[in-house]
Amino acid sequence: MSSREISELTGKRHPDVKRDIQAMATELKEDVSSFARIYLDTMNRRQTEYMLDREHTDCLLTGYSAELRMKVIRRWRELEGQVVGRLQVPVTFAEALRLAADQVEQNRVLQGVIDKQAPKVAALNRLASTAGSVCITDAAKHLGLGPLKLISWLSGNRWIYRRTSFANWSAFQPRLSAGLLEHKLVRIPNKESEELKVVEQVMVTRRGLVVLAEKIGASL
């Protein structure tokens, strides 16, 4: 059950319910982030809620009034009833055979999905293990794309931009904050002299590579 649903059932403010859950996790010496889940509020902003199992919900309700506990308990019974209602219990041998055949077919379909996704999962794991961040050109190689195509995608999807036509690429702040891109000082040849000059370059992080592989759908 989510902390938002507990908030609605009990009439308590969602921030207060979240605070109670955090305090409970502290007392239980558990990591509250393991219950966390992101959702979008009415203004399309990313917010955090907590998903509790029956055991943790009961533990949380211990500190609530009997009236509030009863509201949540009744809701749990509704949810459990819905699960039981969806379970098919065969009553004849023919129904049991049909159920077994359906299960075999479902397993076959699921195995097909797993086999189909296996190469992509392996590729994403390879990207995630890439050492450090890489420049856009190297990122394109990892993704099986041409550098210009990747730059065009990054620019068109508000990952990178140029302040002027001849300026170096810069990363949009949300991409920096999300850990997808970073800026790094590098030395490159100076066309006007033999000395190297220091410039700021956009680098794609390991996490950025994985996200790009998923979004672009590159064949790796």
DSSP string, 30-87: --GGGGEEEEE-TTS-EEEEEB--HHHHHHHHTTS-HHHHHHHHHHHHHHHHHHHHH-
What secondary structure letter does DSSP report for 199? E
Q: What is the mean pLDDT of residues 12-30?
A: 91
What is the distance between the alpha carbons of residues 16 and 159, in angstroms, rounded to a whole number?
36
Give residue 130's pLDDT: 56
Q: What confidence tens digit (pLDDT) does each residue in 157-208 have?
A: 999 999 888 888 999 999 999 989 999 887 767 666 666 667 789 999 988 8
In this prediction, residue 128 carries a pLDDT of 58
Looking at per-residue pLDDT, the higher value among 13 and 125 belongs to 13
pLDDT at 120: 63
User: How much is the average pLDDT of 200-217?
Assistant: 85
Q: Note the pLDDT of residue 219.
A: 41
* Averaged pLDDT score across all residues of the chain: 81
pLDDT of amino acid 41: 84
The pTM is what? 0.42
DSSP 3-state of 131: coil
Sign of the torsion angle spanned by Cα atoms 32, 33, 35, 41: positive
Question: What is the residue type of 102?
Answer: D
